[in-house]
Structure formats: C-alpha cells, structure tokens
Structure 1
C-alpha cells in the first residue's frame, strides 16, 4: 500500500482512496499526496478542499485517477 502511495506522489498523480475516519465511518476521498512520513501522509483533499493528514493503516483501497483526453480532429 505504501509503495503505491509513494509512486503516486512521485508521479504527481491524483488518487481516490477509501478511508476509515476517526468516527469509524467509511469515506471516499480524492487526494493529491504532498508528503509521506512514517505511517501518515499529508495530502490535499478535493472533497474537503483543504490539506489533510491520513493514517496509512486506515486506507482500505487506492485507485489512480486516469484522465483520458479527447482529441477533436
């Protein structure tokens, strides 16, 4: 899991995560990872429109966001 997060950070790629919050609710977040330190990561959360800190152990799933460009000819 941590390796996928590191790769996403190095590629400057957005990811969708399924996350268990402090109140034990499950949320889906779209984030851009800023830094990873120990067992936490700092990221910009597009749902909350703010920088947030996430515990890596609370991340259940990671999916890279893929933007497909359309070409008009």
Structure 2
C-alpha cells in the first residue's frame, strides 16, 4: 500500500482507497495525497470535499487512478 501512496503523491494522481474508520465502518474514497507522513497521510477527499487525515494502517486497499489521455487519431 505504501508504494501506491508514494506513487500517487509523486505523480499528483488520484488514489481510490478502501478505508476502515475507528467504528469499523468501511468506505470507498477517492483522494489526492498532499502530505505523506510515517503513520498518516493528509489528503483531499473528493467524497467529503474536504481535507482529511487518514491512518495508513486503516487503508485496506488502493489503486492509483491515472488520468485519461486521448490517443491521437482515436
């Protein structure tokens, strides 16, 4: 998971994550990583439309969302 976080941060890409909160509720989020710390990340959450802090250990899965680039002639 740390690899995807670093990749999204370095590429300024969006990241789709599955996150479990302190109440054991799982949610799907699309975020943009703004700061990467040892145990947490600061990110813009598109679902909440706000800055949020996420515990890295609570991110169950994630995938980098690459921007769509239209091919010439397509």
| Superposed pair shares fold, TM > 0.5 | yes
Q: Which runs of 5+ in 2 are unaligned?
A: none
Match of 1:26 in 2: 26
Shift of 1:38: 1.1
TM-score norm. by structure 1 comes to 0.88
Structure 2 Cα separation of the partners of residues 67 and 13 of structure 1: 8
Cα RMSD, aligned residues only: 1.5
Normalising by structure 2, report the TM-score.
0.87
Size of the alignment, in residue pairs? Answer: 73
Structure 1 residue ranges without an equivalent (≥5): none
* Superposed structure 1 runs of 4+ greater than 6 Å apart: none
**Per-residue deviation, 1:48:** 0.2
